[in-house]
């Protein structure tokens, strides 16, 4: 369980953690892989969300997922980029959160993921990124003494002596 003082300081900045859907690069599940390949290459992200025509979240797509379809035993074929769609190769078993989200759960999920999709009633509303949460933790590290009087525990002082 998170220390309540730390949790409260993080919650103060909670609205900064989520990047709105309209600011996130996405592709449609029906786009050809060539389109997803271009988007991922241009935006330089490892993974991006995949949506349907109604902006409902369907999964994630990455460059390795796409390039895997291009690799043969002895050659590279670009044919799959035009014949396959994003939904043919995307990752569908994705952890998502809804807003308001549980901060402790988000911290656990961000250990293994650069971002967590935020989904409300199936609709993609944004992402919470490891980068934005780390900025919040950095803020705590620089400002905790403005909110609390910190003193080492006696056991810590004894160990240092």
* Digit-coded pLDDT (tens) for 125-159: 999 999 989 888 888 788 777 777 777 777 655 66
Q: Report pLDDT digits (tens) over 68-111.
A: 998 877 788 888 899 999 999 999 999 999 988 888 899 999 99
- What are the angstrom distances between the C-alpha of 119 and each of 45, 61, 80, 112, 113? 20, 17, 30, 19, 16
- Separation between Cα atoms, residue 102 and residue 7, nearest integer Å: 10
Phi, psi angles (nearest 5°) of residue 10: -65, -40
Q: Into which CATH architecture does domain 4-146 fall?
A: Roll (3.10)
For the chain, give the longest Cα–Cα distance. Answer: 69
- What are the angstrom distances between the C-alpha of 34 and each of 45, 72, 74, 121, 156? 16, 17, 21, 30, 58
């Amino acid at each position: 369980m998170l220390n309540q003082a730390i949790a409260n300081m993080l919650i103060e900045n909670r609205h900064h953690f989520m990047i709105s859907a309209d600011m996130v690069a996405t592709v449609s599940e029906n786009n050809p892989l060539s389109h997803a390949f271009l988007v991922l290459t241009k935006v330089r992200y490892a993974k991006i969300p995949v949506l349907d025509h109604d902006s409902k979240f369907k999964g994630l797509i990455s460059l390795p997922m796409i390039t895997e379809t291009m690799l043969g035993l002895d050659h590279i074929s670009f044919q799959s980029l035009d014949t396959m769609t994003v939904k043919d190769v995307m990752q569908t078993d994705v952890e998502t959160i809804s807003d308001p989200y549980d901060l402790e759960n988000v911290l656990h999920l961000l250990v293994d993921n650069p971002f967590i999709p935020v989904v409300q009633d199936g609709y993609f509303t944004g992402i919470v990124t490891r980068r934005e949460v780390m900025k919040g933790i950095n803020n705590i590290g620089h400002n905790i003494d403005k909110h609390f009087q910190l003193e080492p525990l006696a056991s810590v002082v004894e160990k240092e002596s």
